[in-house]
Amino acid sequence: MNRAVATVGRDLGRILEALGGLLLLSLVVPLVWGEYFALPALLVSAIVPLGIGRVLYRRFQDAEAPGRFHGMIVAASGWFSVGIFGSLPFLLIAWSVQLGVPGFAVPAQTATLAAFTEPLNALFESMSGFTGTGLTMTDNEEVLPRTLQWWRTFSEWIGGVGVIVLTTAILSRPGSGSLTLYESEARSEKIHPSIVSTVRTIWWIFILFTFLSILVLWLAGMPIWGAINHGMTGLATGGFSITDNSIATYDSVAIDFGLLPIMLLGSIAFPVHYLILQGDLRNFYADLQTRWVFGYMGIGSALLWGFLYFGGPYETPFAALRYGLFQFVSAATCTGFQTAVNATNVALGRWPSYAQLTVTFGMFVGGAAGSTAGGIKLIRGLTLAKGIRHQIADVFYPESAIRRLEINGRRLNEEEASREFMEAAIIVILWITFLVVGTFLLLLTLPSGEYSLANVLFEVASAQGNVGLSSGITGPDSLPTFGKIAFLFHMWIGRLEIIPVLVMLRTIFKRGGFYE
């Protein structure tokens, strides 16, 4: 047996076991809400990944620890598998309601739930959830069974921190290649020398912040079920909602402003949270990324406020502030909650193009590396900006001058600066390339003249940045099949920062098998 297959199979098995465990845990929800018809579907959804995972793990448990290549394949295939098996609850519950379950009272089928009888729609919803995107195939989330509302929320909450981080925290043994896997999931920061301790710290911080977020929203006036779901998806910067018009449904200034710190918490790196909780409050301004989370959100929101008030659809400065600030923070933290909808004010898709492009820029950059946010990440944007300035300024110095590039308190020599600049540039170039190609292809497949270039660019950036804001294109009927498949790919590469997916695809298509 190929050693690489064994290593990948073993770790993939662990990930599927963890997913099965999460589904078993979710059985509490239909029991509490009395949705007994969902129990068989949820049980089968849990048993399938649990069984496959168990078989894979037992078969390959003595495999070697993963190297960098295996780590990338595990991350890419693991996230894709989680998307596939995570779609089972949507598919099976939708079919349970469609066909009925002997011995159980089943509610009437709705158009929203019926959309999930299509496997592609179920897969889209699952991938959107686990990648923390928040684009949805539902027309009206309110009519979904509570079990599915919960599964959407739970998938985003888990996905926000990371499937591998979860698996490492509960199933991994120290020294079993956890660091390699951890780094393959678009994370590199370490809080403690041990990676298992690091992920456990990430989890207690995340769980504590979840409780705080739920209580903030509830105190702001949200009903408790909404507060639980939106607190979890807001902190995970996922953006799934249980209401038809996202956060706009509540039409509450207190809730809008209460969500801002929750989304911001989600876009700050976990090591910084840890230091702040240890009492080192200087990190709010001493850490480059955290400083820029606030600076960049402030500048972007002010700009958007100006566009919306002076040249846009809002008549009062406060309305422009309320919707501009919320939508920019929601976009730049890659959450995707929406308050700008036609039902209460002016939908995002009807904002002036320059305002939409400002929001698109926010989605492109995203939050801090090491947080739950998507996009290219602030540190890469800052590395590129500083690197370009460094290169240009180089012309004004004598050739013999020794210059160092300073990033986040680190003084990099020529070689280190070149390497970091190149790594950031590769990700950004790939990100832009996929954004442009995706926009072009979606323009070709959408009905001619129905959506503007700004609308399409916005939607693709939203999928790839794992944001979830929509200009109205995404939906079970409005998005063509090709668009759904393309968006699955955008969400997948966006979550893993592209490289692991390309490595896996190259392995599959070029070599036709695994490397030895």
Partner 1 sequence: MKLGDLPIVSTVFEAGADDRVFDLLLLLGPLVIGLVIVLNRSLLTEALGVAYLGVFVTYVLYRGIH
Residues that bind partner 1 (CB under 8 A): 200-201, 204, 207-208, 210-212, 214-216, 218-219, 224, 228, 276-281
Helix 288-310 / helix 317-332 crossing angle, nearest 10 deg: 140
Minimal distance in Å, beta carbon 35 to partner 1?
17
The nearer residue to partner 1, 276 or 319, going by C-beta atoms, is: 276
Residue 214: CB minimum distance to partner 1, A: 6
CB of 169 to partner 1, least distance (A): 8
Minimum CB distance to partner 1 smaller for 48 or for 277: 277
Residue type, position 493, single letter: I
Residue 197 or 353: the one with the smaller Cβ distance to partner 1 is 197
Instruction: Give the three-class secondary structure for 220.
Output: coil
Q: Are 87 and 61 in contact (CB under 8 A)?
A: no
List, as own/partner pairs, every contact residues 68-72 make where C-beta atoms lie below 8 angstroms and the sequence separation is at least 24, other chains included: 68/180, 68/184, 69/4, 69/503, 69/515, 70/4, 70/7, 70/8, 70/11, 70/177, 70/180, 71/177, 71/180, 71/181, 71/183, 71/184, 71/500, 72/184, 72/499, 72/500, 72/503, 72/504
Cα angle for residues 96, 89, 143 (degrees, 5° grid): 70
Helix axes 146-161, 88-99, angle to 10 degrees: 170
* Closer CB to partner 1, 113 or 232, in the complex: 232
Rounded distance between C-alpha atoms, residue 506 and residue 513, angstroms: 10
List the structure tokens of 39: 């129990």
Q: Min. distance of Cβ 299 from partner 1 in angstroms?
A: 26
> Quick check: 126 and 87 in contact, CB under 8 A?
yes
Question: Residue 164 or residue 228: which is nearer to partner 1 going by CB?
Answer: 228
Q: How far is the CB of 156 from partner 1 (least distance, A)?
A: 18
Comparison of 33 and 95: residue with beta carbon closer to partner 1: 33
Q: How far is the CB of 228 from partner 1 (least distance, A)?
A: 7
Of the two residues 269 and 501, which places its CB atom closer to partner 1 in the complex? 269
**CB of 204: closest distance to partner 1 in angstroms?**
5
Tell me how far, at minimum, the Cβ of 218 lies from partner 1, in Å: 6
Closest distance of CB 215 from partner 1, Å: 5
Q: Tokens 């301790």 belong to which residue?
A: 197
Q: Which is nearer to partner 1, 99 or 207 (CB)?
A: 207
Shortest separation between residue 150's beta carbon and partner 1, angstroms: 14
Q: Which is nearer to partner 1, 282 or 389 (CB)?
A: 282
Nearer to partner 1, 215 or 505 (CB): 215
Kindly list the distances between the CA atom of residue 213 and the CA atoms of 274, 324, 391, in Å, as whole numbers in the listed order: 17, 22, 43
Task: Judge whether 438 and 460 are in contact, CB under 8 Å.
Answer: yes
State the Cα torsion 163-16-130-184 to the nearest 10°.
Answer: 40
**Distance between CA atoms of residues 22 and 294, nearest Å:** 34
395 neighbors 294 (Cβ within 8 angstroms): no
CA distances from 361 to 377, 389, 457 (A): 12, 21, 10
Residue 36 has a CB neighbour count (10 Å cut-off) of 14
